[in-house]
Amino acid sequence: MHGQIAETVGPRDQDPVAHYLGVIAEKTGSLISTSVRFGGMFGGATPEHIEALGGYGETIGVAFQLSDDLLDIASDSAQSGKTPGTDLREGVPTLPVLYALSSDDADAASTRLHEILSAGPVTDDALHAEALGLLRESPALKRARETVRMYAEDARSRLAPLPDGAPKQALESLCDFIADRTN
């Protein structure tokens, strides 16, 4: 609930990227964390393992949401089953957009992308196509992919207290899947 309110209110004096990551942690992250914790509790896990699962769930939830945001920009509709750039068209500030807006890059493409994104929701079809093309080639998209990979690796590290076996391997495989799905 707090995450939804924070998203509605906006970052105010907070760094927009930090605010965005916090909102995702409080929304998607907390949902996945709760689900994984309950799985551990109902499966008879120790308190230490339940705590590790909760940390894993929050972190992998953030990684998943970030990768979903990247798919909105980087994939075509045949691959993702979604219309590309929906968040961009609706003015939803996702991580690649926030990285592009905070970039100090002065090349023509970055400057043009910043100009388009700064104007708010990109509803004009020609501008939308241009912004998507620029975002797909931008350092911001690469940086966002690296952030997804970082969260996936952090989630994997949180599994360290769990015993080796098929359940742990399945959770580790999810880390790999999420890190790789946006490449």
Radius of gyration of the chain (CA): 18
- Judge residue 128's burial from the number of C-beta atoms within 10 Å of its C-beta, 0-12 exposed, 13-18 middle, 19 or more buried: middle
pLDDT tens, position by position, 120-132? 899 999 999 999 9
What counts of helices (H) and strands (E) characterise the chain? 11, 0
Residue 142: enclosing H or E segment and its boundaries? helix 139-157
Enumerate domains of the chain plus CATH numbers: 2-159 (1.10.600.10)
pLDDT band at 2 (very low <50, low <70, confident <90, very high): very low
In terms of DSSP H, where are the helices of 27-104?
30-42, 47-74, 77-80, 86-90, 95-102
Give the Å distances, CA to CA, from 179 to 62, 64, 133. 12, 8, 22
Distance of CA 165 to the CA centre of its chain: 28
pLDDT tens, position by position, 133-178? 999 999 999 999 999 999 999 999 999 999 999 999 999 999 999 9
| Residue 3 scores a pLDDT above 60 | no
Q: Is the pTM of this model over 0.85?
A: yes
| Residue 20 scores a pLDDT above 70 | yes
101 with 110: CB under 8 angstroms?
no
Average pLDDT over residues 16-43: 96
